[in-house]
Amino acid sequence: MTEAAIQFSASAAPVEASFEPAQGMRSLRVLARLLDYPTQELQDACGELIEILNAESRLGAGLKLSLMEWCQRLHEGELLELQAEYVAMFDKGRATSLLLFEHVHGESRDRGQAMVDLMAEYSAAGFELDARELPDHLPVFLEYLSMCEEAEIGRWLGEIRHILALLTARLEERGADHALVPLSLLALIGAEGDVEEHRPQVKKEAPDNTPEALDAVWEEEAVRFSATSDEDCALQSAEGRRLAERKKAVHSDPVKIMPSAWSASPSSTVADR
């Protein structure tokens, strides 16, 4: 990619992206990609991502500029350093997990029914999930939303707004550019102010990505030798529990999250914001 291809300005004309959904919002796929593990392919695509973001009329100019500047940094950054930063941010500790229901249920079995319900939504819409991914992984969820109509996008974002606000506050506290993604999703429904109520709590939280904190988690998830079945053993680790939940639904109360702000105004659409 030439240097000229990565430049952007307020007047840049949008170009057609190779992955444009038949309906919905292309910018949601851009936000999904920005939460992916950094690769050379992602760096090479930054010019296209910038152009799609610049054409997104639903986001404010300041937020769009911040997103585009982040794309520029991704394009110019040292790949190994970007990958190391990503691992430190998302693969150590749970506070900044990209698994939405983990912020509601943690690693308890209560996540099971919530994920089953979400999978049913995906199936009804004809959205096929890669076997390697969990349905509540935020980039996967954004891929699904990118196929939806604007009213449906607004409904879903309204339902998970408190998770997005908490994740934004935690990522901001760590100085991560990735905070711009959940903040942008909140901005689409006019809910950026939700982040403020979480900041005092987040500032008091003890870091969960230190060696000591990680050791404590491993101790908690140590295999119980009294387990009566292989399923019980599998459920002792985070990954084991996730795989078991996907294999067999655990019946429990569905996740209860904040009602959509959109439901108070049925005629609202993302474009209206």
SS (H, E, C) 63-123: HHHHHHHHHHHHHHCCHHHHHHHHHHHHCCCCCCCCECCHHHHCCCCCHHHHHHHHHHHHH
| Predicted pLDDT of residue 59 | 93
CA dist., res. 66 & res. 177, Å (int): 9
| Predicted pLDDT of residue 106 | 62
Residue 126 has pLDDT above 80, yes or no: yes
Please tell me the least confidently modeled range out of 115-124, 135-144, 192-201. Answer: 115-124
| Predicted pLDDT of residue 107 | 65
Task: Answer with the residue of higher pLDDT: 240 or 86.
Answer: 86
From 255, 242, 257, 259, select the one nearest 114 (Cα to Cα): 255
pLDDT range class, residue 55, cuts 50, 70, 90? very high
Burial of 146 (0-12, 13-18, 19+ CB in 10 A): buried
Indicate the residue type of 253: D
| Predicted pLDDT of residue 115 | 84
| Predicted pLDDT of residue 221 | 52
Rounded mean pLDDT, 102-117: 76
CA dist., res. 60 & res. 217, Å (int): 40
Q: Cβ contacts of residue 121 below 8 Å, gap of 6+?
A: 144
Rounded mean pLDDT, 94-112: 79
| Predicted pLDDT of residue 198 | 93
| Predicted pLDDT of residue 250 | 36
Q: Which residues sit opposite 145 in a β-bridge?
A: none
Task: Answer with the residue of higher pLDDT: 232 or 195.
Answer: 195
* pTM summary value: 0.70
| Predicted pLDDT of residue 50 | 97
**DSSP 8-class letter at 137:** B
Rounded mean pLDDT, 151-170: 94
From 240, 87, 79, 256, select the one nearest 176 (Cα to Cα): 87
The overall average pLDDT reported for the chain is 75
Please tell me the least confidently modeled range out of 118-122, 124-128, 205-209, 212-216. Answer: 212-216
H helices of the chain, in order, are 26-34, 40-44, 46-54, 61-76, 79-90, 102-105, 111-124, 138-145, 150-159, 161-173, 180-188, 199-204, 211-220, 230-234, 238-247
| Predicted pLDDT of residue 202 | 87
CA dist., res. 119 & res. 115, Å (int): 6
| Predicted pLDDT of residue 209 | 58
Token pair, residue 90, equals 């998302």
Rounded mean pLDDT, 6-17: 37
Residue position matching structure tokens 């003890």: 206
Residue 150 has pLDDT above 70, yes or no: yes
pLDDT range class, residue 132, cuts 50, 70, 90? confident
Residue position matching structure tokens 């506050």: 169
Please tell me the least confidently modeled range out of 56-70, 166-180, 200-214. Answer: 200-214
Residue 84 has pLDDT above 60, yes or no: yes
